[in-house]
Amino acid sequence: MTELPSALSVKNHQVMSGQDLLMPDRESQAVFKVNAKRRRIKERMFTTAILSATIAALLMLLYLVTSITMDGASSLSWDFVSNFPSRFAAKAGIKSAIFGSIWLGSMTLFFAVFFGVGAAVYLQELAGKHRINSIIELSISTLAGVPSIIYGMLGLAVFVRFMALGRSVLAGALTMSLLVMPIIIIASREALKSVPDSIRMAAFALGASRWQTVRDHVLPAAVPGIATGVILAMARAMGEAAPLIILGALTYVAFVPTSIFDGFTALPIQIYNWTSRPQQAFHDLAAAGIIVLLFFLLICNSAAIYIRSKWGAKK
Amino acid sequence: MSFGSPILETRNLNIYYGQKKVVRNVSLKIPKKTVTAMIGPSGCGKSTILRTFNRMNDFIDSFRQEGEVLFEGTDIYRSKTEVTEFRRRVGMVFQKPNPFTSSIAKNITWGPQINGYQGDLDELVETSLRKAALWDEVKDKLGDSGLALSGGQQQRLCIARAIAMDPEVILMDEPCSALDPQSTLAIEDLIHELKKNFSIVIVTHNMQQAARVSEYTAFMYNGDLIEFDSTSKIFSQPEEKLTRDYIVGRFG
């Protein structure tokens, strides 16, 4: 070990002489030319541009909410929420649509999360780099862009007729699950991808299997991102009318579903139904229905923020 | 240089990443219950060899190996035993501390639990943390997240996590390169303690560290094992000129 001190001194010597090589003189500064004024102007222009984009989006939302509120606020009452629909505008309520949407929403949540997150975990964590997997990936991205009405036709053919589920809330939920599954898969895969590999390696080095690693470390770390995707997907499912209309969801329902095989209606369908009536009173009811729907979406998004902050704080 | 039967051994090991050959015909014996350092410039293949000892290279798609890697005489790439079983017996500590986000206690107990540990878990947490010289610092906050600790403490937690599996070997891949000098010293002291019970292989960029902690040193260069001998010999009278040049800091 006698060489050690000399090893150190050689290194130090090289560093000292290296400094001279790196900075022979300070003239090189002349190469930098900063037009500070122009840079500031550009900075301000950019800030203004993106700020106005934000404000424009907010203004549109504000316009929507105020015009809806002005039309619908007068019809909004406890009776409106607790009554079944009626052909008399004054007696018509939205109870069956609210319950239909809750049934539809919670069942869609169940199916879509189970299959969507499952598929994402398989594709991201377990599947190798086979050709077939890249074909599956491409198909999923494509499915995310298919118009919702096509899913309605698929649901009608497969769930309502072939599987003979009828025009039930179950058939509706399965159709909606198909519709939102690509969104959940894509969001979940992104969330899984952002979990650092070092966590997986730590688990594997302890003799863990892939499934143990995913179950106990990767999935929990990805929950905030997955939840965000799920909630966005649920908001989409709550707001969709087209596939349900194709599927044959009922437009006049004077009962609340009591089983998954019951017929149902949903908020967007009820709203659509009212807006297509000629009388002004029904248009106001539709506006009130939209307020109720927005309220549901608000709850969805608050849940997303809550889950994200709760899981984020754990780390 | 001679020692009893080795705990780990490579025979004519060649490793490829795709077309690129990164380790060339390396035959190396790792002795039991002592510290073996692997040194050499970046990209010389020392970490790659380390990762074959617990088959962590399996996660690199382009990885391919020829030759034998023996653990207690069993070829771990050809044995019918599950790879997870080898990983339980050959622990690893990584370059960057990577504790789980869960609690400190859970960091220790997770590995043993998934591997069917039958003993008392609270006791295991305490003994593992004591052996990793971390117990006194964390005994009052075992429920806190592993990420709440300092970098040096995190690395000792990772060592405790490895110890809890009661492995025969602990592989360390530049365990101090992300740590400050004080934490580095703490880890080096710990390594001195651990070699009584475990066979340790440590990859390091820091030659002084290799000289301080190891009994044996392997010098690698460009995929070749240039020289393997007792650390005192490598650092005082290396056989090869290349080793000598590297030790005195002419390159690397």
Domain-located, residue A20: no
Q: Is B114 on the interface with A (CB under 8 A)?
A: yes
Query: Measured between CB atoms, which of A4, A208, A314 is closest to B208?
Result: A4
A23 pLDDT band, cuts 50/70/90, is low
Closest B-chain CA to A311: B101
A28 pLDDT band, cuts 50/70/90, is low
Contact yes or no for A10 and B250 at CB 8 A: yes
Query: Measured between CB atoms, which of A202, A207, A220 is closest to B88?
Result: A207
Contact B77, B69 (CB under 8 A): yes
Q: Among A4, A129, A206, A216, which would you mutate to test the B interface (most chain B Cβ atoms within 10 Å of its Cβ)?
A: A206
CATH fold of B8-247 reads Rossmann fold (3.40.50)
A17 pLDDT band, cuts 50/70/90, is very low
Is the ipTM of this structure higher than 0.90? yes
A122-128's contacts with Cβ under 8 Å and 24+ in sequence apart are: A123/A185, A123/A189, A124/A188, A124/A189, A124/A192, A124/A193, A125/A192, A125/A210, A125/A214, A125/A218, A126/A210, A126/A214
Query: CA of B162, closest CA in chain A: separation in Å?
Result: 7
**pLDDT, average across residues A22-30:** 58
Distances (CA, A) of A200 to A14, B130, B163: 41, 26, 18
Q: Judging by DSSP bridges, how do beta strands B8-17 and B90-93 pair with one another? A: unpaired
Percent above pLDDT 90 for chain A: 42
Q: What is the pLDDT of residue A137?
A: 85
Boundary (domain end) residue, out of A75, A97, A132? A75
Average pLDDT, chain A: 85
Residues A60 and A109 in one domain: no
A15 pLDDT band, cuts 50/70/90, is very low
Q: What is the pLDDT of residue A85?
A: 81
Closest A-chain CA to B232: A1
Domain-located, residue A116: yes
Closest B-chain CA to A205: B87
pLDDT at A120 over 80: yes
Q: Is B211 on the interface with A (CB under 8 A)?
A: yes
Contact yes or no for A314 and B101 at CB 8 A: yes
Domain-located, residue A10: no
Q: Which domain holds residue A119?
A: 76-313
Query: CA of B134, closest CA in chain A: separation in Å?
Result: 19
A246 pLDDT band, cuts 50/70/90, is confident
Contact yes or no for B110 and A314 at CB 8 A: no
Query: CA of A130, closest CA in chain B: separation in Å?
Result: 12
Interface A-B: count of C-beta contacts within 8 A: 92
Query: CA of A207, closest CA in chain B: separation in Å?
Result: 4
Chain B residues within 8 A of A216 when measuring between CB atoms = 110, 114
Contact yes or no for A206 and B87 at CB 8 A: yes
pLDDT at A88 over 90: no
Residues A59 and A85 in one domain: no
Residues A158 and A230 in one domain: yes
Chain B residues within 8 A of A196 when measuring between CB atoms = 98
Query: Measured between CB atoms, which of A3, A200, A314 is closest to B248?
Result: A3
**pLDDT, average across residues A91-112:** 90
Separation of alpha carbons A229 and A225, rounded Å: 6
Residues A52 and A96 in one domain: no
Residues A58 and A81 in one domain: no
Query: CA of A121, closest CA in chain B: separation in Å?
Result: 17
Separation of alpha carbons A294 and B97, rounded Å: 46
Separation of alpha carbons A4 and A87, rounded Å: 96
Query: CA of B182, closest CA in chain A: separation in Å?
Result: 20
pLDDT at A14 over 80: no
SS3 B153: helix
Residues A162 and A257 in one domain: yes
**Below-50 pLDDT ranges, chain B:** none
**pLDDT higher at A31 or B78:** B78
Residues A270 and A300 in one domain: yes
Q: What is the pLDDT of residue A6?
A: 44
Residues A278 and A196 in one domain: yes
**pLDDT, average across residues A221-246:** 89
Q: What is the pLDDT of residues B36-64, one digit of tens each?
A: 999 999 889 999 999 999 999 998 889 99
Percent above pLDDT 70 for chain A: 89
Contact yes or no for B111 and A221 at CB 8 A: no
Q: Among B234, B248, B250, which would you mutate to test the A interface (most chain A Cβ atoms within 10 Å of its Cβ)?
A: B248
A12 pLDDT band, cuts 50/70/90, is very low
Q: Among B90, B100, B237, which would you mutate to test the A interface (most chain A Cβ atoms within 10 Å of its Cβ)?
A: B100
Q: Is B91 on the interface with A (CB under 8 A)?
A: yes
**pLDDT, average across residues A284-291:** 91
Q: Is B53 on the interface with A (CB under 8 A)?
A: no
Boundary (domain end) residue, out of A75, A91, A124? A75
Rg over CA atoms, chain B? 18
pLDDT at A8 over 50: no
**pLDDT, average across residues A191-199:** 94
In the DSSP assignment, the letter for residue B58 is G
Boundary (domain end) residue, out of A44, A75, A106? A75
SS3 B95: coil
Q: What is the pLDDT of residue B154?
A: 95
Q: What is the pLDDT of residue B1?
A: 66
Length of chain A: 315
Contact yes or no for B54 and A314 at CB 8 A: no
Q: What is the pLDDT of residue A11?
A: 45
Q: Is B98 on the interface with A (CB under 8 A)?
A: yes
The answer for B 128-187 residues in CB contact with A (under 8 A) is 145, 147, 158, 161-162, 165
Q: How many domains does chain A have?
A: 2
Contact yes or no for A1 and B211 at CB 8 A: yes
Q: What is the pLDDT of residue A21?
A: 54
Residues A89 and A69 in one domain: no
pLDDT at A3 over 60: no
**pLDDT, average across residues A26-50:** 84
Residues A120 and A207 in one domain: yes
- Domain with residue A87: its CATH number is 1.10.3720.10
Domain-located, residue A232: yes
**pLDDT, average across residues A282-289:** 90
Residues A276 and A181 in one domain: yes
Q: What is the pLDDT of residues A152-181, one digit of tens each?
A: 999 999 998 898 888 888 999 999 999 999
Contact yes or no for A217 and B91 at CB 8 A: no
**pLDDT, average across residues A130-139:** 85
A10 pLDDT band, cuts 50/70/90, is very low
Backbone angles phi, psi at B196, to 5 degrees: -65, -35
Q: What is the pLDDT of residues B189-226, one digit of tens each?
A: 999 999 999 999 999 988 899 999 999 999 999 999 99
pLDDT at A284 over 80: yes
Contact yes or no for A7 and B236 at CB 8 A: no
Q: What is the pLDDT of residue B20?
A: 93
